[in-house]
């Protein structure tokens, strides 16, 4: 490993890392020298692919299954991460669900699905991770969204969960500062991922690109690079911040 790697010797867990933004983040952290636990809920094939790519590049990674809306899975996930690599230095809360519905079509099932994963899951994972964190401190990065403030119509519940993530980020940053654990969020704009294609939202990409000052929608690497920055000591004086990576769309 190169001594120039900013995360050399660190241990990271990335939830929801079998594809899309999470996969890109896992690979970026590994490229900077971190040993990475690649969490997945259902796509073992995708997580194994991410791990194989990290290994091929000379990095360390392991795929660990776990539904982060379930306490038993979370306990096992953190236990297996610790068993594989030792104390945790970096936690990236990326796992989440994205579904749209106008006000008149919001139902209890959709509401609880979003909040159980996007909000409660983040809280529970963070709680459990703290039991395994390096006593010297570290970094937690929550993946939020520009929609926490842009608040597009038809996405009220999702928007609300990401507003909650921003609020949790600010509060946890103050609670965990005495432990030298920094907590920040990354708030992406529209990013081209498998999920974007599967939901059909990609059809709106041209119109989103047209109103984005930098003139394009994002790629997963556009999010992974600032996450690696937030995970490193380069951002050692930054905590409680929501970093917007949106091409200027706010």
Q: How far is CA 85 from the centre of its chain?
A: 20
Annotate 148-185 with b (16+ C-beta within 10 A) or e (fewer): bebeeeebbbbbbbbbbbbebbeebbeebeeeebbbbb
Among 40, 98, 158, 244, the one annotated catalytic: 158
Provide the Cα torsion 232, 187, 225, 88; round to 10°.
40
Interhelix angle 44-56/20-31, rounded to 10 degrees, is: 20
Q: What CA–CA distance (Å, rounded) separates 45 from 210?
A: 35
- Told to judge if 158 belongs to the known catalytic residues of this protein, a careful annotator would answer yes
Alpha helices in 104-241 (DSSP H): 108-115, 122-130, 147-150, 156-176, 194-199, 205-211, 220-231
Residues forming the active site: 158
């Amino acid at each position: 490993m190169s001594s120039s790697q900013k995360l050399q010797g660190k241990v990271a867990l990335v939830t929801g890392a079998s594809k899309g933004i999470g996969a890109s983040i896992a690979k970026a952290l590994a490229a900077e020298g971190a040993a990475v636990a690649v969490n997945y809920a259902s796509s073992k094939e995708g997580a194994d692919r991410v791990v194989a790519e990290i290994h091929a590049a000379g990095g360390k990674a392991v795929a660990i299954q776990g539904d982060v809306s379930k306490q038993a899975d979370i306990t096992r996930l953190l236990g297996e991460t610790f068993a594989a690599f030792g104390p945790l230095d970096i936690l990236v809360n990326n796992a989440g669900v994205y579904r749209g519905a106008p006000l008149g079509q919001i139902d209890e099932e959709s509401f609880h699905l979003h909040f159980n994963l996007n909000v409660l899951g983040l809280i529970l994972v963070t709680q459990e991770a703290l039991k395994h964190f390096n006593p010297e401190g570290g970094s937690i990065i929550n993946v939020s969204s520009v929609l926490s403030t842009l608040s597009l119509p038809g996405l009220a519940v999702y928007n609300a969960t990401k507003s909650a993530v921003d609020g949790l980020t600010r509060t946890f940053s103050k609670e965990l500062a005495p432990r030298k654990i920094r907590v920040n969020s990354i708030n992406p704009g529209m990013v081209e991922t498998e999920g974007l294609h599967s939901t059909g939202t990609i059809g709106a990409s041209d119109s989103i690109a047209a109103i984005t000052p930098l003139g394009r929608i994002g790629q997963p690497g556009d999010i992974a690079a600032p996450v690696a920055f937030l995970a490193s000591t380069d951002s050692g004086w930054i905590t409680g911040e929501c970093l917007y990576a949106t091409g200027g769309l706010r």
